[in-house]
Amino acid sequence: MPAPKHTFKPPFNIVRCSHVGLTVTDLDRSRQFYETVFGLIVTEATPDALYLRGLEERQHHSLVLRKGAKPEAQYLGFKVGEEQDLDMALDFFKAKGLRAGFVERPHQGRTLLAHDPWGLPVELYAKMDGAELLLQKYANYRGVQPMRLDHFNIFAPDVQGSLDFYAGLGFRLTEYAEEDGPNGRIAAGWMHRKGNVHDLAFTNGAGPRLHHLAYWAPTALNIIHLCDVMATSGFLPNLERGPGRHGISNAFFLYIRDPDGHRIEIYTSDYQTMDHDHEPIRWSLRDPRRQTLWGQPAPRSWFEEGSAFTGCEQRDAMFKADVIIAS
Amino acid sequence: MPAPKHTFKPPFNIVRCSHVGLTVTDLDRSRQFYETVFGLIVTEATPDALYLRGLEERQHHSLVLRKGAKPEAQYLGFKVGEEQDLDMALDFFKAKGLRAGFVERPHQGRTLLAHDPWGLPVELYAKMDGAELLLQKYANYRGVQPMRLDHFNIFAPDVQGSLDFYAGLGFRLTEYAEEDGPNGRIAAGWMHRKGNVHDLAFTNGAGPRLHHLAYWAPTALNIIHLCDVMATSGFLPNLERGPGRHGISNAFFLYIRDPDGHRIEIYTSDYQTMDHDHEPIRWSLRDPRRQTLWGQPAPRSWFEEGSAFTGCEQRDAMFKADVIIAS
Amino acid sequence: MPAPKHTFKPPFNIVRCSHVGLTVTDLDRSRQFYETVFGLIVTEATPDALYLRGLEERQHHSLVLRKGAKPEAQYLGFKVGEEQDLDMALDFFKAKGLRAGFVERPHQGRTLLAHDPWGLPVELYAKMDGAELLLQKYANYRGVQPMRLDHFNIFAPDVQGSLDFYAGLGFRLTEYAEEDGPNGRIAAGWMHRKGNVHDLAFTNGAGPRLHHLAYWAPTALNIIHLCDVMATSGFLPNLERGPGRHGISNAFFLYIRDPDGHRIEIYTSDYQTMDHDHEPIRWSLRDPRRQTLWGQPAPRSWFEEGSAFTGCEQRDAMFKADVIIAS
Amino acid sequence: MPAPKHTFKPPFNIVRCSHVGLTVTDLDRSRQFYETVFGLIVTEATPDALYLRGLEERQHHSLVLRKGAKPEAQYLGFKVGEEQDLDMALDFFKAKGLRAGFVERPHQGRTLLAHDPWGLPVELYAKMDGAELLLQKYANYRGVQPMRLDHFNIFAPDVQGSLDFYAGLGFRLTEYAEEDGPNGRIAAGWMHRKGNVHDLAFTNGAGPRLHHLAYWAPTALNIIHLCDVMATSGFLPNLERGPGRHGISNAFFLYIRDPDGHRIEIYTSDYQTMDHDHEPIRWSLRDPRRQTLWGQPAPRSWFEEGSAFTGCEQRDAMFKADVIIAS
C-alpha cells in the first residue's frame, strides 16, 4: 500500500470530521445516557431530536439524535473550509455519477448530502450555528469529560476501494493492516484530514455500517471513572470492551454501547500526523498487538455488530479475514 | 526530640481522628460549597445544622456545620475503640485536673467532651449512627472526590507541651521541624494513631486555633480539577495555596478556604507509619523543602489565619520563629 | 459469618504483613523483572539472594528472592510490635501443638518461623535492618512506582477454618464471599491488621498455595504505564489479568506473573478499616461484580495457578465452588 | 483585532513548528538535563552538538544544542509541505527585502534561513532524516515523557506588527490579549498552523528574544512527577513557574530553565483550532485569569528574562504594559 502523494491537490477541502446523525428509539433514555452518564452538553432538545456537543466544541452539535422506529446511523458529517468547497464537492460527486444534493439541516448552513460509491451517506457543510464555549466552565464537567468528536470507523465491504476513494478526497493514510505476502490484501486503514491519527477508518466487513464514533477524553483516569460510573449505575451491560491500549494509533480506549446499541469509543493520546511526508505504519494481520497492545481479546460482538445506515444497502465483505478493527 | 516509646500503653484507645464541628454564618452558602463544589455527601440537613461525610465514610458525619453568629471551630472529634475507653478517658482527664464531661450529640453514642491543658476542645465517642456506603456509587462522585477525613492541624502556643501531652494519649510522632543547634526548640510536629502520617499536628503560633482540617482525595488530578472548578465558578478567592508537594509528609496538597474562612486541605499520597519502631523524620527550620518541595512560597494568610475554638482563650506563641506549617 | 469481636485481645500483636520469601530459578532474570521493569529498589544482592523493597519502605526488604531449583513460596513475613510478642507467639503456637521455632534470617532480628494448622509457613519478627528512605528521591522512580508491600492472598483448603484461626491472632474480617442460603459456606475472606482492606486473604482452593502478593502503587496511571512497558519490552506473556476494578476492596488492580510464574498484584485505592465496629461487607457468590466491577472475565490460569509453599503438603479444597478470588 | 481571513491563500505552506537551535555552554551538563531529567531521546551526539527528539517524533531532531561561548537561541525551525514551498518562500522574503538564503544543516534537506522584519531567524525545510519511532517503546519513557515539540513564544518589540507579518504567512490567530477601550493596543497573540492553539506566539517586550519553547506531555501527572524529580535531584532552582492552568490556551503548564537559562514549557491539554471560521478569543489585559486561571502570580524572572537570538539586534518594546505572556 503506497502512501498517497501529498502533492496531490484534493478537489475540495474537508477540514475534519464534525458530527454524526443517529436515530434512537427513546430520546429520554438516550439523553440520560449521553448527558448524565457520558457527559456531553445538550445544546438543544426538541420533541423529535437532541443536539449534543463536547466540552470544547463551539459548534452547535457534534451528535444529533433523532427519534426513529429503529436505531440507525443517518450520516457522517464533515466540515469543509469555505462555502465554495460545497459547490466543488457537488461537481465532484456528480461527475463521478454519485448521488449528491443540498438538504436542509437545522442550525447548519448550506449542507450537501452525498453518497460514496458504496452508498455511505456523507454530509458536508461550511457553517454551523455557534454555541457557548464551555471549555473553562469546569463545573459542567461530568462523566468521561468528552472534549470533542474525534473520528468515525466504518465496516466496509471493499476496504481497498474505500481507501482509494477517500484518498481522492484528500484523506491521508496513517496506519493500515494487511495480509502478509506479495499479494496481501488490505483489511483495514486509518485516514485523517485534521492532523491526528484519523477522521475516518475502514475495516473489512459487511457494510457500509457504522462500527463506532469516537470522542476524545483528557486522560485515562477519566475513562476509568466512566467504567466505574457505568458499572454501578445500571449501565454495566453497556460496557463492551476495554479499557486498554490499541497498538494501532497508540490510543488508550474504551468501547461502550448506547441504549440503542450504537457503539461509542472514548479515546485518549494518539499522535500528530500532519507532515506531508508522514509515513503510514503497516501492521501484519498476524500481529495481535495491533488490536490490543496488552493482549486482551475483544468480545465477539465488537467484531460483528454495527449500526446500519438509513437507506443504505449492505454488501458482504469482499474477502474473509480475521476482522481487524481498532480505535 | 526523642521518638516516643511504643511499649508505652496509652490510658485509653483513640483509633483515629473522626469528625469536626464548625460554626458557619450561612448554611445554604456552606452547603453549596461543601456539597456541590467540594463534593462531600450530605447525610442530613436540619434548619440549624448540616451533617456531611466523605465518599468512603460509613459513619453519619465527619463534618458538622452549625449555624452561628460567627465562624468558629467547636471541637475536634476522635473515635475510640470501645465504650469503656470513654470511661477511662474521663478518669484520665479528671485526674489531670482538666475539664471533661459527657455531652449530648445527635447521631453519636456516649460522647465525652474534654479540654486539653490549653483549652482545646476534644470530643471522644465509640459509636455513631451509620450511613449508606457510597464508595461504589460512583455516580455520586463530584468535585474533588473527597474520600475521608484525614487529619487536623492546630496553631499551638506551646508545641513541645502539646506533643508531650498527646504522646501521653498514645499519639506517635512521625515528622517534626526544629531549630538547629543543641538547644533547638521544636516548632511543629505531626502525630498519628491510625497508621499514616497524621491524625493531629501542632505548629507554633498563637492559639489554640484550627489551622486546617484535611480530607483525602484519590489522586492529584482530582485536586487539579477542583482548582479548575473553583477558579471558574466564583470561588477563585477561596483558593489559598497550592497545589504543590509538601516535603513534610510527602503529600500532594491544596489549601482552600470555605465561605466563612475555615481552611480545608485536600491531600493525597503520604505513607504508612504503624511500625512500633517507626522513626520520626526531623526537618531543620532552615530547610525550605519541608513546606514546599518545589519551592513555591505560601501566602501570608496561610501562616497567620486560623479558626478560633468556641470558648477557648488564646495565648501567644511561646517563641518567635518562622512559622512552620505543612500538611 | 459474624464479625469478630474487637474487644477480643489477641495473644500477641501482629502489626502488618511485612515481607515474603520466594525461590526463583534465575536471579539475573528476576532482577531485570523486579528492578528494571517493575521498579522495586535492590537493597542488597548476594550470589544466592536478592533483597528488594518498595519506594517508601525503610526496612531492608519486603521481597527476598533466593536461588532455588524450582519456584516456590518460602514463607509469609509479618512484623510484630515488640520483641516480647515473639515469645508470646511461640507460646501460642506450642500450646496449639503447632510447629514453631526461631530461625536465622540475615538483616532480621529474632525471627520466629511458625506453621498454621494447614502447614502455611509464617515468619514473625520485631526488628529488621533499616534502609535509606527513598520516598523523596524521585529520580529513582521507575516502572509501576511500587510504594510498599500491601497484602498476601492464599489458596486455602478450608477457608472457614483459616479465617477462624487468623481471627484468633487478631486479624479482622473486612469482606467475604459466601454461598446464598441458610447454610451457605464461606468461599473467601479478606482480613487486616494494619487498617486497610487486607494484610491476608484466603480463597477456596487446593492449598495452601500463594495466589499472589501485592504491592501498592500511587495511581491507576502508574499501572497503565506498567502494562505499556511490559507489553513492549518482552513481558507481554507476563500480563495475566487486568487492569480493572475489583468489586471486593474497590481496588484498581493488575495481575502479572514474574519470570518463574509467581503472581504479583499491583493495587491502588481501597479504604480505611481500623474502626473496632467496622462491619465486614458480604458478597454473594452469585454476584459477579465482586471479582470485576466492570464485568471482564479473568483467565483460567488466574483461578487455578499458584505457588506451592516449600515443604508444605497440599490438600484439596473442602468444597467445590466457583473459585472466588479478588485483590 | 479582526480575525484573519482564512480564504487568504498563504504564499507558501508552513505545516508546523518543527525544531529549534540553541547554543549551550556545557554539552554534558545539558545532556544530563534534557535526556536524564527531562526525558528527551538523544538521536545523535557529536563533540559539538547534541540532537534530541520527543517520544513520538520520527524526525531526527526537534532540539539541537550546539556548544557555544554564551547561551543563545540560534533559530526557530518550521517544516513546509513540499520542496517548492522553499523556493516560494525565498521569493517571498526577497520580494519583501528581507534577508534569506539556503544554509547547510546536518540531517536536513534544503534549508532556507530567513529573517523576519525584526531580524528573527526562521529556518524552513521540507525533508529531514528520519529516526526510529519510539512511541511504543515504553521502556524508554523517562522524566516528563515529552512527546513532541509544541510551540515557540517570542518577546516582540512590535506585537501587532509581528502578528500581521505572520498572518501574511498563513498563521491563524487563536487568542490575544489587548488593552480595553477603542484604541486598545494588542499586547500578546497566539497563532497556529497545525490545528491546536499555537505554533508561534508573540508577547510585548524588548526583543526579539525567545521567551520559551514548549514540549507537549501526556497528562498533568507527568508534569507533577517532573517537579518531584527536579526538586529532589539538584534542579530545584530550575523550576521557575507552575504547575498551573493558563486561562489562555487552557493548558496545564510548567516552566523550567535549562542549565544555561533557556526556558522550556511543558504543556498538556489545549484544544482544536483548524476550522476556517474558528474565532480567536480576546482577553482583556485587566483579566488576571488569562495568565493563571487559579490566581498564582508568576515570578519576576518569567516576565523579564529570555534568550537572545544569535546576531539579532534587540529593540525596546513599543509600549509599556503589564507584560502578558502565557503558554
Task: Return the residue of C nearest to B147 by Cα.
Answer: C271
Please state whether beta strands B14-24 and B63-67 pair in parallel, antiparallel, or not at all (unpaired): parallel
Q: How far is B49 from chain A (nearest CA, A)?
A: 26
The confidence score (pLDDT) of residue B326 equals 44
Q: Verify whether the Cβ–Cβ distance D221 to C221 is below 8 Å.
A: yes
Note whether D248 and D178 are within 8 A (CB).
no
Cell of D116: 523576519
Cell of B1: 526530640
What is the number of other CB atoms lying within 10 angstroms of the CB of residue C251? Answer: 25
Task: Return the residue of D nearest to B294 by Cα.
Answer: D231
CA distance C307 to D147: 41
Chain D residues with CB under 8 Å of A219 CB are: 218-221
pLDDT in tens, B114-158: 999 999 999 999 999 999 999 999 999 999 999 999 999 999 999
Q: Which chains touch D (3 or more CB pairs under 8 A)?
A: A, B, C
Q: Which chains touch A (3 or more CB pairs under 8 A)?
A: B, C, D
pTM of the predicted structure, to 2 decimals = 0.96
Task: Return the residue of A nearest to B141 by Cα.
Answer: A229
pLDDT in tens, A35-84: 999 999 999 999 999 999 999 999 999 999 999 999 999 999 999 999 99
What is the number of other CB atoms lying within 10 angstroms of the CB of residue A104? Answer: 7
Identify the DSSP state of A300: H
Q: How far is B207 from chain C (nearest CA, A)?
A: 30
3-class secondary-structure state, position B34: helix
Q: Verify whether the Cβ–Cβ distance A136 to B232 is below 8 Å.
A: yes
3-class secondary-structure state, position B321: coil
Burial class (CB in 10 A: 0-12, 13-18, 19+), A237: exposed
The confidence score (pLDDT) of residue A327 equals 43
pLDDT tops 50 at residue C327: no
Does residue B256 or residue B320 have the better pLDDT? B256
Q: How far is B231 from chain D (nearest CA, A)?
A: 5
pLDDT tops 80 at residue A7: no
Chain D residues with CB under 8 Å of A272 CB are: 16, 56, 148, 194
End-to-end CA distance of chain C: 20
Considering chain A, what percentage of its residues have pLDDT values greater than 90?
89
Cell of C270: 481501597
pLDDT tops 50 at residue D49: yes
CA distance D19 to D5: 28
CA distance C283 to C321: 14
* Confidence class for position C30, pLDDT limits 50, 70, 90: very high
Chain D residues with CB under 8 Å of C137 CB are: 232-233
* Confidence class for position C303, pLDDT limits 50, 70, 90: very high
Note whether C215 and C254 are within 8 A (CB).
no
CA distance D177 to D188: 5
* Cis peptide bond N-terminal to A11, omega within 30: no
pLDDT in tens, C34-60: 999 999 999 999 999 999 999 999 999
Chain C residues with CB under 8 Å of B272 CB are: 16, 56, 148, 194
- E strands, chain B, are 14-24, 41-45, 49-53, 63-67, 72-80, 100-103, 111-115, 121-125, 148-156, 172-178, 186-192, 200-204, 209-216, 239-245, 252-257, 263-268, 281-284, 307-308
pLDDT tops 70 at residue C224: yes
pLDDT tops 60 at residue C280: yes
Burial A43-54 (b: 16+ CB within 10 A, else e): bbeeeebbbbbb
pLDDT tops 60 at residue A326: no
Among B195, B271, B276, the residue with its CB nearest the CB of C56 is B271
Chain D residues with CB under 8 Å of B230 CB are: 294
The confidence score (pLDDT) of residue B327 equals 43
Considering chain C, what percentage of its residues have pLDDT values greater than 70?
96
CATH assignment of A14-130, among 3.40.50.300, 3.40.50.970, 3.30.1310.10, 3.10.180.10: 3.10.180.10
CA distance A119 to A98: 9
Amino acid at C31: R
Nearest to B64 by CA among B30, B122, B21: B21
Nearest to D22 by CA among D306, D262, D305, D265: D262
Among A7, A82, A271, the residue with its CB nearest the CB of D135 is A271
Note whether B78 and B199 are within 8 A (CB).
yes
Average pLDDT of every residue of chain A = 94
* Confidence class for position B5, pLDDT limits 50, 70, 90: low
* Helix axes of D220-231 and B220-231: crossing angle, nearest 10 degrees: 110
Considering chain D, what percentage of its residues have pLDDT values greater than 90?
89
pLDDT tops 60 at residue D85: yes
Note whether C34 and C22 are within 8 A (CB).
no
Does residue D260 or residue D321 have the better pLDDT? D260
Residues of B with CB under 8 A from a CB of C: 6-7, 15-16, 56, 58, 79, 81-82, 126-127, 130, 133, 135-136, 147-148, 194-195, 218-221, 247, 250, 269, 271-272, 274-277, 279, 281, 293
Chain A residues with CB under 8 Å of C296 CB are: 296
Q: Verify whether the Cβ–Cβ distance B245 to D232 is below 8 Å.
A: no
Looking at the DSSP bridge assignments, the partners of residue D175 are D190, D281
Q: How far is A100 from chain C (nearest CA, A)?
A: 44
Chain C residues with CB under 8 Å of A229 CB are: none
The confidence score (pLDDT) of residue D151 equals 98
Nearest to D54 by CA among D195, D148, D160, D172: D148
Q: Verify whether the Cβ–Cβ distance D295 to B220 is below 8 Å.
A: no
pLDDT tops 60 at residue B6: no
3-class SS string, chain D: CCCCCCCCCCCCCEEEEEEEEEEECCHHHHHHHHHHHHCCEEEEECCCEEEEECCCCCECCCEEEEECCCCEEEEEEEEECCHHHHHHHHHHHHHCCCCEEEECCCCECCEEEEECCCCCEEEEECCECECCCCCCCHHHCCCCCCCEEEEEEEEECCHHHHHHHHHCCCCEEEEEEECCCCCCCEEEEEEECCCCCCCEEEEECCECEEEEEEEECCCHHHHHHHHHHHHCCCCHHHEEEEEEECCHHHCEEEEEECCCCCEEEEEECCCCCCCCCCCCEEEECCCHHHCCCCCCCCCHHHHHCCEEECCCCCECCCCCCCCCCCC
pLDDT in tens, D293-314: 998 889 999 999 999 999 999 9
Among A219, A221, A228, the residue with its CB nearest the CB of C245 is A228
Note whether D206 and D314 are within 8 A (CB).
yes
Among C133, C218, C274, the residue with its CB nearest the CB of B269 is C218
Q: At A257, phi and psi to the nearest 5?
A: -115, 135
The confidence score (pLDDT) of residue B296 equals 86
What is the number of other CB atoms lying within 10 angstroms of the CB of residue A36? Answer: 14
What is the number of other CB atoms lying within 10 angstroms of the CB of residue A100? Answer: 17
Q: Verify whether the Cβ–Cβ distance B7 to C82 is below 8 Å.
A: yes
Respond yes or no on whether ipTM tops 0.90.
yes
Q: In what order do the strands lie in the sheet with B121-125?
A: B41-45, B49-53, B63-67, B14-24, B72-80, B121-125, B111-115, B100-103
Identify the DSSP state of B269: -
Q: Rounded mean pLDDT of A123-137?
A: 97
pLDDT tops 80 at residue D325: no
Please state whether beta strands B172-178 and B186-192 pair in parallel, antiparallel, or not at all (unpaired): antiparallel
Q: How far is C230 from chain B (nearest CA, A)?
A: 24
Average pLDDT of every residue of chain C = 94
CA distance B255 to B296: 14
Among D58, D219, D250, the residue with its CB nearest the CB of A136 is D250
Note whether A295 and C231 are within 8 A (CB).
yes
CA distance D30 to D36: 10
In chain B, helix, strand, coil percent, each to 5?
20, 35, 45
Q: Verify whether the Cβ–Cβ distance D224 to B228 is below 8 Å.
A: no
Considering chain B, what percentage of its residues have pLDDT values greater than 90?
89
The confidence score (pLDDT) of residue A325 equals 47
Q: Give B178-232 as a DSSP string.
A: E-SSTTPPEEEEEEESSSSS-SEEEEESSBSEEEEEEEE-S-HHHHHHHHHHHHT
Cell of D29: 551538563
3-class secondary-structure state, position A64: strand
Would the CATH topology of A14-130 be identical to that of A145-308?
Answer: yes
Does residue B324 or residue B257 have the better pLDDT? B257
Name the least confident of A120-134, C290-304, D24-38: C290-304
Amino acid at C113: L
Considering chain A, what percentage of its residues have pLDDT values greater than 70?
96
* Confidence class for position A296, pLDDT limits 50, 70, 90: confident
Q: How far is B137 from chain D (nearest CA, A)?
A: 26
Note whether B57 and B42 are within 8 A (CB).
no
Q: Verify whether the Cβ–Cβ distance B58 to C279 is below 8 Å.
A: yes
Average pLDDT of every residue of chain B = 94
pLDDT in tens, C172-223: 999 999 999 988 999 999 999 999 999 999 999 999 999 999 999 999 999 9
User: Homologous superfamily of D145-308 in CATH?
Assistant: 2,3-Dihydroxybiphenyl 1,2-Dioxygenase, domain 1 (3.10.180.10)
Pick from C53, C108, C277 the residue to mutate for testing the B interface (most B CBs within 10 Å).
C277
CA distance C307 to C259: 13
Q: Verify whether the Cβ–Cβ distance A224 to C219 is below 8 Å.
A: no
Average pLDDT of every residue of chain D = 94
Q: Verify whether the Cβ–Cβ distance D136 to C229 is below 8 Å.
A: no
Q: Rounded mean pLDDT of D123-133?
A: 98
pLDDT in tens, D203-217: 999 999 999 999 999
3-class secondary-structure state, position B38: helix
Note whether B51 and B66 are within 8 A (CB).
no
CA distance B83 to B80: 8
CA distance B321 to B97: 31
Domain borders along chain A are 14-130, 145-308
For CA atoms B66, B72, B73, B74, the dihedral sign is negative
Q: How far is B269 from chain C (nearest CA, A)?
A: 7
Residue with cell 522574503: D93
CA distance C175 to A312: 53
Task: Return the residue of B nearest to A220 by Cα.
Answer: B221
